[in-house]
Amino acid sequence: MCLIFLLFCLAGMSSGVAFAEVVNLGAHRTDVGLMDFQQVIDETCSKCHTRERVDIALAKRKSIGPILQQMNRLGADISSADQALIEAFWADDKFAEVNRVIATRCTLCHSRERIDQQLMEGVDLETLTEKMLRFGARLSDEDRKVLGVFSGQPLR
């Protein structure tokens, strides 16, 4: 579930660069809502869970409703706004696909924390992807497409 996530692969967005095209992931924009989602994961979910545990639950597409109910029952302090944000990103298939690429490709070499940090800093995705490929990363055309669509920067 952890995103912003996006990877050493995605570590490639440029923070100072305006997005020419913003991909809609449900009701949230990738350049705004995703950062908020990551912040909720980092500040709220990580009080009790590791990032890896959250990512595994997202990758398995576990239903978030019962998870949130159990968390609230056990005393988690999740605002209604944070809960709505979690539900929106958790349920989005495009986001799950991005998370799959990160989990199966990017985290082979990089920690999720590094990936998220790079993403938050806005490293250029195209440059990063080329660097990764030079160092032996294996990204299929579909993986590159998923990452490019997610970032709002179609990859060549």
In a domain, residue 90? The reply is: yes
Containing H/E element for 28?
Answer: strand 28-29
90 vs 64, higher pLDDT: 64
Q: What is the pLDDT of residue 136?
A: 86
Number of structural domains (the chain) is: 1
Q: Which domain holds residue 142?
A: 24-151
Q: Tens digit of pLDDT for each residue in 7-31?
A: 333 434 333 333 334 444 443 334 4
In a domain, residue 72? The reply is: yes
In a domain, residue 71? The reply is: yes
In a domain, residue 131? The reply is: yes
Could you tell me the pTM of the whole model? 0.45
Concatenated DSSP letters of 87-153: HHHHT-HHHHHHHHHHHHTGGGTS-HHHHHHHHHHT--HHHHHHHHHHTT----HHHHHHHHHHHT-
Q: Are 144 and 156 in contact (CB under 8 A)?
A: no
In a domain, residue 124? The reply is: yes
Bridge partners of 24, per DSSP, are 29
Q: Are 91 and 104 in contact (CB under 8 A)?
A: no
At residue 74 the predicted structure's pLDDT band, cuts being 50, 70 and 90, is very high
In a domain, residue 74? The reply is: yes
